[in-house]
Copies of this chain bind each other. A is one copy, B any other.
Amino acid sequence: MLELAILGLLQESPMHGYELRKELTAKLGAIRAAISYGSLYPTLRRLQAAGWITEAAETPATAEEVPALTSRRGRVVYKITAEGKERFAQLIGQAGPETYDDTGFGVHFAFFARTDQATRLRILEGRRRTIEERREGLRDVLGRAAERLDAYTLELQRHGLDACEREVRWLEELIANERSGRAPTVPNPGTAGGRRDNNSPPPPGESRKERP
């Protein structure tokens, strides 16, 4: 999962570890806590060994000398290679069971802008299937085994069941949207402060890159 996320982010622009972590947190903040360096750095090493990424030279063109006075301490910028792009395309295109669990789905979804529509649909439906099964499991417990469990445990299940139902509905809308339109935006009026408009969703072909 981390591999996919790193490859995806480096496709936007080269980055060093720290920056990568921040971008990762921003992009995946909805589905998981901040990624640990204890995962990040070993993974970067692994990707580099596999040839998917390489180290890029530091020293941006605007660096007006100010040279080796303090010896230009280490800041390792990574960029994706051509093989890395292939690898990313391969990973993003295939969908196994791990694509449908909470984390896996979240990561795939976060890169839907780089995923073709058929795959998007396949993933959304697989996820829906998965959540529907989880939902049925919870209904079973709440129905059949209810008297064996204490009130707190039951309340937990109820809350979980509610979340499942809500996610299924969300997925339904996304699927419908995907099938016969193009925009990922769900038409329901957001629960949060409603000042966000977000019209003009980009037709998900390729996205332009920009860096400040």
Contact = CB atoms under 8 A, between A and B. Distances in A.
Interface of A: 26-27, 29-31, 33, 101, 106, 109-113, 134, 137-139, 141-143, 145-146, 149-163, 165-167, 170, 174, 183-186, 190-193, 196, 198, 201-202, 204, 207
Nearest to A212: B148
A161 to B, nearest CB: 5
B207 A157 contact: no
- Specify the main secondary structure of chain A where it touches its partner: helix
B112 A152 contact: yes
A185 B145 CA distance: 17
A28 B167 CA distance: 19
A45 B84 CA distance: 42
Nearest to A115: B152
A183 to B, nearest CB: 7
A59 B188 CA distance: 59
Contacts of A149: 26-27
A110 B153 contact: yes
A177 to B, nearest CB: 10
A27 B153 contact: yes
A158 B207 CA distance: 21
Given A30-B138, A139-B192, A158-B186, 20 more contacts: A26-B149, A29-B137, A30-B160, A31-B160, A109-B152, A110-B156, A111-B152, A113-B152, A139-B193, A150-B201, A151-B183, A154-B198, A155-B186, A158-B190, A158-B192, A159-B167, A159-B170, A162-B190, A162-B191, A162-B192
Nearest to A31: B160
Contact of A29 (B26, B112, B157, B183): B157
